[in-house]
Amino acid sequence: MSEAPLVTEQRGAVLIISINDAPWNRMSAAFMDQLEVLVDEIAVDETIRAVVLTGAGDQNFSVGMNLKEIGSAVAAKSGTDGFFDQRWRVIRAIETMGKPWIATFFGNCLGGGLELPLGCQFRLAAEEGCAIGLPEMDLGTVPAWGGSARLPRVVGRTHAIDLILRAKKISGPEAFRIGLANEVWPLAELKDRAIKLAEELAAQPRLAVKHMLDALMSVEGKTLDQSLADERAAVHATSGTPDAREGIMAFLEKRKPVFNHG
């Protein structure tokens, strides 16, 4: 296996990113530096329309930050704020770039191993062997990569309080039950299913996906009128495009549309 902190593979319009530190897949400082560069590249690469975020091997998605290097990593970023600002910046870029990201939960998905997927639009979980949570309370501290801000938006305040204050680790089926995971699959099928979902999303009309994600990912904190205005802006931006014309023609001709060629 390569010693690079992450490895990528592009399959058509889908990019697969693997945290490359099996079996634990710790999110090292080098991993975060490389991911930050990669996220910026993905945002402007029109050949990539969906991303799968996973971990190398089949034991753990990620146990989160490598605690052994936290001192040197903080020093390299000129202090605690610089260190955590980078993580906020990367996760925010993922959730606002207008391209769907799919994360895979398997094995341990702890700390940053949950906070990074919280910035993704889809999360698929293994039905066996998952331990998903924010265990920072057990370390005498609190989530610091945006977990306490995003988790209530995904699962509701009641579940978020329960998970964070009790440092709970939940299974894949439980994550699905509370809305943290979109789907649950046997571990042996999980990564293939994530790729298949990414291929499905990548085949959707690119511009329409982007504008809908822009609207949907910013809906919290807005009034209904503001969200309706966002939807109307998306309508104007996608009306009359080659994909819109293709979708209408395919409907009239009773065939499956083929998008993203215009």
| Residue pLDDT, tens place only, 221-241 | 889 999 999 999 999 999 889
* pTM attached to this predicted model: 0.93
- What pLDDT score was predicted for residue 14? 98
Q: 3-class SS at 153?
A: helix
> Which of 10-19, 73-82, 103-112 has the weakest average pLDDT?
73-82
Q: Identify the CA nearest to 154 among candidates 135, 139, 172, 176.
A: 176
Question: Which candidate in 136, 199, 246, 253 is catalytic?
Answer: 136
Closest alpha carbon to 56 in 128, 107, 121: 107
Verify cis geometry, omega within 30 degrees of 0, for the bond prior to 23. yes
Q: For residue 48, give Cα distances in angstroms to 37, 43, 150, 259.
A: 15, 8, 25, 14
**What is the arithmetic mean of pLDDT over 255-259?**
92
Dihedral (CA of 153, 159, 164, 168) sign: negative
The mean of the pLDDT values for the chain is: 94
Backbone angles phi, psi at 131, to 5 degrees: -135, 100
- Give the CB-side neighbour count of residue 91, counting CA atoms within 13 A: 21
Confidence at 68, pLDDT banded by 50, 70, 90: confident
Percent above pLDDT 70 for the chain: 99
Marked catalytic residue, from 46, 115, 183, 231? 115
Measured CA to CA, the distance from residue 229 to residue 234 in angstroms comes to 9
Residue range 91-113: average pLDDT?
Answer: 97
pLDDT band, very low/low/confident/very high, at 2 (cuts 50, 70, 90): low
Residue 98 above 60 pLDDT?
A: yes
The reply to whether 115 belongs to the active site is yes
Q: Span 194-205, mean pLDDT?
A: 98
Decide if 69 is catalytic: no
In 3D, which of 113, 92, 114 has the Cα closest to residue 180? 114
The whole-angstrom separation of Cα 237 and Cα 22 is: 43
Q: Give the residue from 197, 177, 208, 209 showing the smallest Cα distance to 102.
A: 197
Helix (H) or strand (E) holding 84: helix 80-96
**Stretch 108-134: mean pLDDT, rounded?**
98
Q: What is the pLDDT of residues 171-188, one digit of tens each?
A: 999 999 999 999 999 999
pLDDT above 60: residue 132: yes
Q: Give the pLDDT confidence score for residue 1 in this predicted structure.
A: 45
